[in-house]
Every structure is written in C-alpha cells, then in structure tokens.
A and B are shown apart, each in its own frame.
Chain A
C-alpha cells in the first residue's frame, strides 16, 4: 500500500517539477513548484519523517514560496514576459541540464540495482529530530544561525541606505 502511495506522490512531484521548468508564465511555474513541494512532503511522511514533512510545508511551501510569488506579483509580468521566456526556451537549452540529469539518473539506476536503500523504515518523532539537532549537530545549527544573522544584517543595511536617500528626497 505504502509503495503505491509513494510512487503516486513521486510521479506527481516529478511531473510538476518538469512543468515548473517548461512553463513560460512565471506564476504558473511557481504554482507547480508549490505542488511539487507538497508532493515531497507526502513522500517524507510516507518515509516515516512526519516532522520533516510538516516543516517542508510550513517553511518551504508556506513561507519561502509565498515570497517568490510576492516578487512575481511585484514585477507584474505580462504578455511580453511570456513571449520573452518562450524565446529563451530553445531546444539547445536542454543539452547541458540533460547531460547532468542523465548522469544522476544513471547513478540512481546503479543504486537501485545494487545496494539496498538506506532508509531503515523507522519512524522519526519530532523529539528525536530536536535531540539530534541540538545534541550531535549543535555546532552546525549554530553556524547556520550565524550565517542567517549575517544575511539579516545585510538586508537591514541595504534597506536603511534606501530609506535614508528617500528621506533626503522628501526633505
């Protein structure tokens, strides 16, 4: 049963990801990306990682993609942008990504044929995730938070310079 569900979710995710790449309308592409993220959340859940599944939706689908859509709305892309995208989408653009994907695919086939899958089939409760994050991987978590802090300070700095020039304009 779980295997069937897994393959359904996996094919939804693959098809929607493919559509993300081929859509010329930016907002449609984004919606397919959201669908793909939701499908990946289902896969996480099926693999016994409910916490990762919930975070996938809350953070990726619920926050980051909203900001992507926000930017698309700000740009207010019209018909001209669709035509431009269509012009960029030449068949020869597929060569590079195609080769890279073929390499990955070959590797995947090799793994499937040889060694057994690494997922042990155990369910990982939220508490276990927290204990690992703030126990074994504490240093990595702290380093990532320092990185985010740098991004935050940078964004604040850029925003402040803009606000100052705006105030001078008004004054």
Chain B
C-alpha cells in the first residue's frame, strides 16, 4: 500500500474541483454543440461562472420543507456524495498512484455505485411530495435494472485478466487496450453508466417536463448543490473506470507522465458523455426498460459467452 494515505487529499480535492469545473465545461460545450454561446460573461471564457454558481448556492437559504422527513431529507444528499467519493478509492491514477490496491477493486466500485441509489431513493421518499416520490420510484427501478448489465458487462474484462484488481487490469492492457476485444462490453457499460448517473438522455428520475425536478424537487441551496455534485462525480467516476478497464488506464507513450494520459482520456470520455446529452432525446420510461432487458441483457450474455469461449480456447 505505497502512497495510500498521501493520495486521499489530492483525490478528494481533484474530484470535487473536477465536479465544479464540469458545471462550466458542460454548459459551454452544450452551447457550442447547440450553436449558441453558453455562459461567457464572468471572467475569461466565462470560467468564473462556476465560482459565481458556487457562491450563489452556498448563500441561498437552506430550506427544509415542514412536511418532509427531516432526518432522511438531510441524510440523502450526504449519502449520494459519500458513496460516490468512496468509489474513487480504488481508481489507479498512475503507476502506484492509488489509495488502496484492493484485490476486489472492481467489485468495490460496483458496490459503491449500487449504494448511491439510496441517496436518490431516500431523497424522493423523504420529500413527501408526489413528484419526488415518482422520481424516486423511477430511479429505483432504473438503477436496479442497469446495475445488472453494468456489472455483467465488466465481467468480460475480468475473464481476460483473471482479476478484479484494477492495477492488474491496467497492466494486462500493455499489449493492447481492451476496447477492441470487449467492444460489446464497452458499449453496454457506457449506456449503463449514463443510466446509473441518471443523466440525459436517461434522466427520467428528474424529467423536468413531467415531474417538476423529480426526486430533488424540494431541494435547494447547499443540499441541491450536493446532489448535483454527486451527479457530476458519478460521471467522472464512470469515465475513470471506463478508461481504466477499456482504454489502458494511465498507459500511454512516454513523452507525457501517466497521470496526464489518465486525465486526458478521462476528459475525452466525459466530453463524449456531454455530447450524448446534447444529441440524443430522452426515451419514454417503458422504452428505457425494454432497451435494458430485451437488448442490453442478451448482448451482455452473448459477450460473456464469446469471451469465455475465446479465453478457454486460447488457454488450450
């Protein structure tokens, strides 16, 4: 466990700053792709917009609705943030640059993302508001469904390396990144990742044209900021894990240090997530569910079957 505890502060700071930066990056990129300006007034290129947003959210009245379940209402945003930040513990940012080198690293990531659903569920339940409740119900069904493929789509990579350890998985990609043999796994993981982070186009738990703001309708001020930060952290974490598993992690040509390669790859994946949001309309809820169970699940199982057969035949 070299570097272990020293890495905690930089990772925490980096993840939170990344989430803050994404508030601005996402809006600028959306503006660019939708042929409009986006926030460009505060500071150069509008980059100080994130500071302005932060100050506004921090100084807003922190209101707890009198009809809500006070304890759960306060606990829910913290549950989202805590489980997302815990997920970063196993991510290898460079050779030996990790907080823990867990031999069940990949399972730990899956466990933390599956715990994040409680934040959303409890927020919807504690708000005591029918829009919030519907949003919470939708997110429960959506996240439980997509968790299945999220886990199964990664098992192809586990079969190829024979390990749940993320460092071992990165080292196994020195001869070739896994996105070529595991292209089906990558596609399923990407779709499931968007659904797990409940971002557009799969943001049905908070679909604003039918559910006000879904599960966070009653949230304002700092608690709302925590929920949004949780969503961005989820996107960063999913991108980081995707880079680690399919795009060689911190591996890259020697002229740049590994951490830079890792950041560049993660940044590109995040930009792709934002492009998805800019270009694909939201499906209906039943379409979302049948896409999951009727298309993605069979694809994942076929992928596992092929990967298993190939792995066995290579072994002889």
Q: Which of B99-133 contact A (CB under 8 A)?
A: 102-104, 107-108, 110-111, 114-115, 117-118, 121-122, 124-125, 133
Q: How far is the CA of A126 from the CA of B122 in the complex (A)?
A: 32
Residue of B69, B114, B115, B137 near A74 (CB, 8 A) is: B137
Q: Which of B137-163 contact A (CB under 8 A)?
A: 137, 140-141, 143-144, 147, 151, 162
Contact A54/B141 with A61-B114, A61-B115, A63-B114 known, Cβ cut-off 8 Å? no
Task: Give a binary string over A60-71; 1 marks a CB under 8 Å from any B CB, 0 the rest.
Answer: 011100110110
**B107 engages A58 (CB within 8 Å):** yes
Contact A73/B144 with A66-B121, A125-B103 known, Cβ cut-off 8 Å? no
**B117 engages A54 (CB within 8 Å):** no
B51 within 8 A of A: no
Report the tally of A-B residue pairs with Cβ distances under 8 A: 74
Contacts of B117 in A (CB 8 A): 62, 66
B77 within 8 A of A: no
Q: How far is the CA of A73 from the CA of B147 in the complex (A)?
A: 20
Q: How far is the CA of A66 from the CA of B143 in the complex (A)?
A: 9
**A58 engages B111 (CB within 8 Å):** yes
**A51 engages B104 (CB within 8 Å):** yes
Contact A127/B162 with A62-B117, A63-B114 known, Cβ cut-off 8 Å? yes
B84 to chain A: closest CB distance in Å?
14
Main secondary structure on chain B at its contact with chain A? helix
B72 within 8 A of A: yes
Contacts of A63 in B (CB 8 A): 114, 144, 147
Q: How far is the CA of A61 from the CA of B144 in the complex (A)?
A: 11
Contacts of A126 in B (CB 8 A): 103-104, 107, 164
A40 within 8 A of B: no
Q: How far is the CA of A166 from the CA of B80 in the complex (A)?
A: 38
Contacts of A72 in B (CB 8 A): 125
Contacts of B104 in A (CB 8 A): 50-51, 53-54, 126
B185 within 8 A of A: no
Task: Give a binary string over B26-53; 1 marks a CB under 8 Å from any A CB, 0 the rest.
Answer: 0000000000000000000000000000
Size range of the interface on B? 20 to 34
**B118 engages A27 (CB within 8 Å):** no
Contacts of B115 in A (CB 8 A): 57, 61-62
Which chain A residue has the least Cβ–Cβ distance from B137?
A73
**B111 engages A69 (CB within 8 Å):** no
Which chain B residue has the least Cβ–Cβ distance from A74?
B137
B193 within 8 A of A: no
A81 to chain B: closest CB distance in Å?
14
**A57 engages B140 (CB within 8 Å):** no
**A50 engages B103 (CB within 8 Å):** yes
Residue of A51, A53, A67, A127 near B144 (CB, 8 A) is: A67
Which chain A residue has the least Cβ–Cβ distance from B71?
A28
**A54 engages B107 (CB within 8 Å):** yes
Contacts of B122 in A (CB 8 A): 27, 31
Task: Give a binary string over A126-167; 1 marks a CB under 8 Å from any B CB, 0 the rest.
Answer: 110000000000000000000000000000000000000000
**B108 engages A66 (CB within 8 Å):** no
Q: How far is the CA of A139 from the CA of B178 in the complex (A)?
A: 33
Q: How far is the CA of A125 from the CA of B136 in the complex (A)?
A: 36
Q: Which of A17-51 contact B (CB under 8 A)?
A: 27-28, 31, 34, 50-51
A76 within 8 A of B: yes
B271 to chain A: closest CB distance in Å?
29
List chain A positions with a Cβ less than 8 A from chain B. Answer: 27-28, 31, 34, 50-51, 53-55, 57-58, 61-63, 66-67, 69-70, 72-74, 76, 125-127
* Apart from A34-B118, A55-B107: 4 A-B pairs, beta carbons within 8 A: A54-B107, A57-B114, A61-B114, A70-B140
A-B contact pairs, 11 of them (CB 8 A): A34-B118, A54-B107, A54-B110, A54-B111, A58-B107, A58-B151, A62-B114, A62-B115, A73-B125, A73-B140, A126-B104
